[in-house]
Amino acid sequence: MLQGEIITTGTELLTGRVAEQNGRYVARRLHQAAIPVHCLTILADGAPLFGDTLRRAVRRSRFVIITGGLGPTDDDLTVDQAAQALGLTLTLNEGLLTRIRRCLAERGLPWQERYAKLALIPEGAVVLDPGGQACGFSLRLNDTWLFFLPGVPQEMQTLFDAFVLPVLLSLKGGNQVLVSRTLRFFGITEGELQGVVSGLPEIFSEVTVGYYPNFPETHLALTLEGENRADLEASLERVVRRLGQEVGDRLLGPEDAPQEELVGLRLREQGKTLAVAESCSGGLICHRITNIAGSSDYFLGGVVTYSNQAKIDLLGVSPDILRTQGAVSADTAQAMAAGVKARFQADYALSATGIAGPSGGTPTKPVG
């Protein structure tokens, strides 16, 4: 079975300074191609664990993708460490060296000896040259393919799509394809959603399911694998429709659509209108709604009432409610929604009130 793993290097990835992107990109692209990845390892630059990690990966995987550590600086040690770990001989690739000299000259940069390091690759390796960007290289050790790619995400993605993925697709062979969809739910917990899925074995028997809490939502990943993409897409659509029948409007829609877009679609379908009253959010909700093209079809307007007096004057919130319940209360939120609904004569109204922070929160009314 063709399965592999990913090793990404970079101290900045382990300090929280930079979010890891390369492993995520590669894993997603391989998942779409129905090529499984069973391990993703993140290591610091020059980590002593690199050698053991690489040797173990070569023993148990058909392919290993390594990103980062191919540059000219002292902390770019991936090639040296790989050679030591696997007993490889490094040679100076004259073609790559010529390319490096030409690129430096085109940019008006002087040659420095440290750049020669970029042309040192294992004997027998094949240079992956996209032209105009950083290079990588590939190497085959017995039945295992190794792909060494740069750490800059854009450069890595270019090389992966142009060189690595085609090789892996040819190794995989066959006609297996994979289709997947991630659905977003609101108002239903992970456990409740699993109960719904478990109660529908007739439609989920062939579907791989993953549950992912993503407050305030719950996400459900659905995956089908087979040989006919159209049939798989149709089967997945039937699953989604059946789920919708079970959970109703708690199913928001697909992952790639923001919540404000999904709300807008529902309003447009129903021919309804919306008005918004905000306090602590300071207009953010209105901003997100109006960022969606065509929102004028259903969004009538909004009011930011940050102070208590503004709530009284603009929305008709009772001073008694503010005095007895406080500005951050369900009663105040209801009064704000009722006030903005009446002012704009909207079908629906949404209100938000809370404690903006960083101070001012209490155990019963925390910041937020």
pLDDT in tens, 54-83: 999 999 999 999 999 999 999 999 999 999
pLDDT confidence tier of residue 29, bands split at 50, 70 and 90: very high
Give the pLDDT confidence of 293-345 residue by residue, as tens digits: 999 999 999 999 999 999 999 999 999 999 999 999 999 999 999 999 999 99
Question: 313-351 in b/e burial notation, b at 16+ Cβ within 10 A?
Answer: ebbebeeebbeeeebbeeebbebbbbbbbebbebebbbb
Reported as half-sphere exposure (CB side, CA atoms, 13 A), residue 311 has a value of 27
Kindly tell me if the per-residue pLDDT of 93 is higher than 60.
Answer: yes
Give the pLDDT confidence of 137-156 residue by residue, as tens digits: 999 999 999 999 999 999 99
Q: Report the mean per-residue pLDDT for the chain.
A: 92
Residue extent(s) of CATH 3.30.70.2860 domains in the chain: 177-254
Query: Under a CB-based contact definition with an 8 Å cutoff, are residues 256 and 262 in contact?
Result: no
Question: CATH fold of 4-172, please?
Answer: Molybdenum Cofactor Biosythetic Enzyme; Chain A (3.40.980)
Strands 144-149 and 348-352: unpaired
Reported as half-sphere exposure (CB side, CA atoms, 13 A), residue 321 has a value of 18
Give the pLDDT confidence of 210-262 residue by residue, as tens digits: 999 988 899 999 999 888 889 999 999 999 999 999 999 899 888 778 889 98
Placement of tokens 């995956």 in the chain:
223
The pTM of the whole model exceeds 0.85 = no
Placement of tokens 């992970």 in the chain:
190
Nearest to 297 by CA among 263, 271, 266: 271
One of 3.30.56.10, 1.10.10.10, 3.30.70.2860, 3.40.50.720 is the CATH number of 177-254, namely 3.30.70.2860
Nearest to 18 by CA among 77, 67, 84: 67
Query: What pLDDT is recorded for position 201?
Result: 87
Residue 34 gets the label, from left (phi > 0), alpha (psi -120 to 50) or beta, of left
pLDDT confidence tier of residue 363, bands split at 50, 70 and 90: low
Residue extent(s) of CATH 3.90.950.20 domains in the chain: 259-352
Domain 259-352 -> CATH class: alpha beta
Per cent of the chain over pLDDT 70 is 96
Kindly tell me if the per-residue pLDDT of 157 is higher than 90.
Answer: yes
Query: What pLDDT is recorded for position 211?
Result: 92
Strands 208-214 and 217-226: antiparallel
Encoded tokens for 60: 């148990």
Instruction: Give Cα 175 to chain centroid, integer Å.
Output: 27
Kindly tell me if the per-residue pLDDT of 357 is higher than 60.
Answer: no
